[in-house]
A and B are shown apart, each in its own frame.
Chain A
């Protein structure tokens, strides 16, 4: 018995190097784009009969690192991103020989602040959210003090006398980065003292809006949005920060809170009136096309009308689709496989 087991393990070990060329597309990256890319991957597998691509959920940053590690079968062919590629990442890619990157904008994700269906409806502004959630806020003289606000009434007299409690993603999440950038930075700028600070010391200003309070008012609820939905139902006075698709899918339990008077809906996100939204990207490694079978077909499936079109299956999955012109732009990039240049990256 033992002898056979030993033999089996030896065989298993020695069998590794004799691998054939990879015939399966590999995709890494953002967990926000994951639900959409997986749907495309499944459709691609079903309609072409090729192997269904493997989609890993590594987060945008982790995905970029793997994607930019080099060219060759052991590196991924695509990476999902919930923000555009950063300059540093682009340079890293170039350095490692990943010189031909195709950037495809596939749609939008709205960030929603939601509350339980049973709670009294709130309506918030970015400034109020900043005052409620920032770690340090300026006092009347413009000096930074630890956030003293305990209830929403402390933040603004028009708001109810309810304890501030917001459930949101942890610092490792791209959703949290976007929330800070789209809501807290804009909210901080409304404060004249902080606007002056930005001009004087941009770094210090960034530290102010990027730091979220840690005294219990903001609860890090993990990356699992379903969990936040359940917690909100149990605790109607708490608010939660979500991707828009979650609010859409769980409309029987939670409802969206309008930001600056605009409620998050497909229409308001797509036409740009709802400002707390971010574009989603898929980056392709052009150098792999021709080596890894199916890449061109996968790109074609992704940008097809039945996927990212207004009535496409990704819209059913909660993607806010691109308006007509933008979609045409993405399709043109996909058709010509336009390579990203240093000027395109900010």
Chain B
């Protein structure tokens, strides 16, 4: 008998241990997913919070700026000319284009605002921090290719080929293959004072190279230490930055003129098709306007509906029907609300497309059921003794509800509302139908001006081909997550601070 009983006990304990293990494993797996997601987003997004610029001395040409129309000056041209003037060796249209491609068109905006702030700058030379273009920026952040620079350890002989373009590279030792003794591979770049060559590889028994910056023909031998080798992890044909551009950036970097700073622009600019200029301010303000409309409608309507249904409405078939419908509405896919908004607000009432007002109305409909359900639950949780005591001392039903029940239920109502708000913040689908999924560069100025919202901005950026938009996307996700975490934190704080238990 005891044998059997012990066996049963052992089994029961084993079952419990197994269950605990499953629970812990589920929790661990969830934590792992979450950690992976966060690490992935943060590591992708962090580079977007830094921006790189190069200091250029620009002469504000009086011929290019009309003092009566400071905004209309051709600042882009002034910056590009000043920048090109620093590389006098760069000739030829393609090279000059590649050189100015390092700079972002946003530099002109900086100079423009400098001149507008101080028109006395016209005719003078100023140092302008010019933002770098997205490819140069990505390269400097190490996201395009890794570069390994090693100093040449032995003498290098360069001989120009007769009759054809190119050079032959040889080391000192005869007999051994040149690429082995010099430690060079195809695609490596040799840099020295007065020129740069790209190794193309062995050909007819010789190690050949082609010029990036054609060297002085007088240079035939470079002593050890006079030349560097740049080895790339990604070959030139596969990256968005050429060998020549890398060398220019390296030169600027060694001169200490490249500045890295916090990218305030991300929070100050609206959307743009240039990744380095794109910011989330427009979307953030659009989100705030939209949610403001949504909450100023949904909160009073939701609480009023909840109070009536919970405290005053007679219990009959009609109120039952309404209750069932409210519960069902909370589970309706959000795109349906977008279609409703399109049909009612845009087509019937003729409201403007893409406006935060319409977006707010749609989101108000979306969160209304959630708020009603949460508010009713909070009202129900207030013990009936409170109402009874109030009624007992002669208060009317309305007085009892508004002066006693509602204040006690308010923390619960606020928590539910904030969670509804957080949902409204993260919605994109219903906004698709009413035209808020759009490229909107201007920062919205009111409830009827065109706007988009943060999650939509994430969606739009994630779909663009430029690599730099991927880190912008992750950065926007980080901001969205921070906003949502903050909202949830407020909800938790309210609950902890004002909650009463009976």
A binds B: yes
From A205-213, A249-257, A267-275, A292-300, the one touching the partner chain is: A249-257
The number of inter-chain residue pairs (CB within 8 angstroms) is 109
Q: Within 8 Å of chain A (Cβ to Cβ): is B132?
A: no
Q: Within 8 Å of chain A (Cβ to Cβ): is B267?
A: no
Q: Within 8 Å of chain A (Cβ to Cβ): is B363?
A: no
Q: Within 8 Å of chain A (Cβ to Cβ): is B297?
A: yes
Contact A19:B352 (CB < 8 A) given known A225-B463, A245-B465: yes
| A2–chain B nearest beta-carbon distance, Å | 6
Sample of 4 more A-B contacts, CB < 8 Å, known A15-B447, A249-B466: A16-B357, A57-B439, A74-B346, A249-B465
| B44–chain A nearest beta-carbon distance, Å | 11
Q: Within 8 Å of chain A (Cβ to Cβ): is B351?
A: yes
Q: Within 8 Å of chain A (Cβ to Cβ): is B77?
A: no
Among A9-42, those with CB < 8 Å from B are: 9, 12, 15-17, 19, 22, 24, 26, 31, 34-35, 38-39, 41-42
CB-defined contacts of B239 to chain A, threshold 8 Å: 251-252
Q: With CB as the reference atom, state the residue of chain A lying closest to B303.
A: A2
Q: Are A9 and B238 in contact (CB under 8 A)?
A: no
Q: Within 8 Å of chain B (Cβ to Cβ): is A177?
A: no
B418-446 toward A: CB 8 Å interface, digit per residue (1/0)?
A: 00000000000000000101111110000
The main secondary structure of chain B at its interface with chain A is loop
Q: Within 8 Å of chain B (Cβ to Cβ): is A5?
A: yes
B232-262 toward A: CB 8 Å interface, digit per residue (1/0)?
A: 0010011110000000000000000000000
Q: Are A51 and B442 in contact (CB under 8 A)?
A: yes
Contact A38:B273 (CB < 8 A) given known A5-B300, A12-B357, A56-B354: yes
The 8 tightest CB contacts between A and B, nearest first, are: A52-B441, A55-B439, A56-B438, A38-B439, A249-B465, A39-B273, A54-B450, A9-B297
Q: Within 8 Å of chain B (Cβ to Cβ): is A342?
A: no
CB-defined contacts of B351 to chain A, threshold 8 Å: 16
Give the total of B residues in contact with A, Cβ under 8 Å: 46
A39 to B464, CA, bound (A): 12
CB-defined contacts of B273 to chain A, threshold 8 Å: 35, 38-39, 42, 317
Q: Within 8 Å of chain B (Cβ to Cβ): is A240?
A: no
Q: Are B439 and A54 in contact (CB under 8 A)?
A: yes
Q: Within 8 Å of chain B (Cβ to Cβ): is A8?
A: yes
Contact A223:B145 (CB < 8 A) given known A9-B296, A56-B354, A251-B240: no
B315-357 toward A: CB 8 Å interface, digit per residue (1/0)?
A: 0000000000000000000000000000000100111111001
Q: Are A54 and B438 in contact (CB under 8 A)?
A: yes
A187-211 toward B: CB 8 Å interface, digit per residue (1/0)?
A: 0000000000000000000000000
Q: Within 8 Å of chain B (Cβ to Cβ): is A318?
A: yes
Q: With CB as the reference atom, state the residue of chain A lying closest to B467.
A: A249
A226 to B462, CA, bound (A): 7
30 residue pairs A–B, Cβ–Cβ below 8 Å: A5-B296, A8-B296, A9-B296, A12-B296, A12-B297, A16-B448, A17-B350, A22-B352, A34-B439, A35-B464, A38-B439, A41-B441, A42-B274, A54-B435, A54-B438, A54-B450, A56-B354, A56-B437, A74-B346, A74-B353, A117-B238, A224-B462, A225-B465, A226-B464, A250-B465, A251-B239, A252-B239, A252-B240, A311-B97, A317-B465
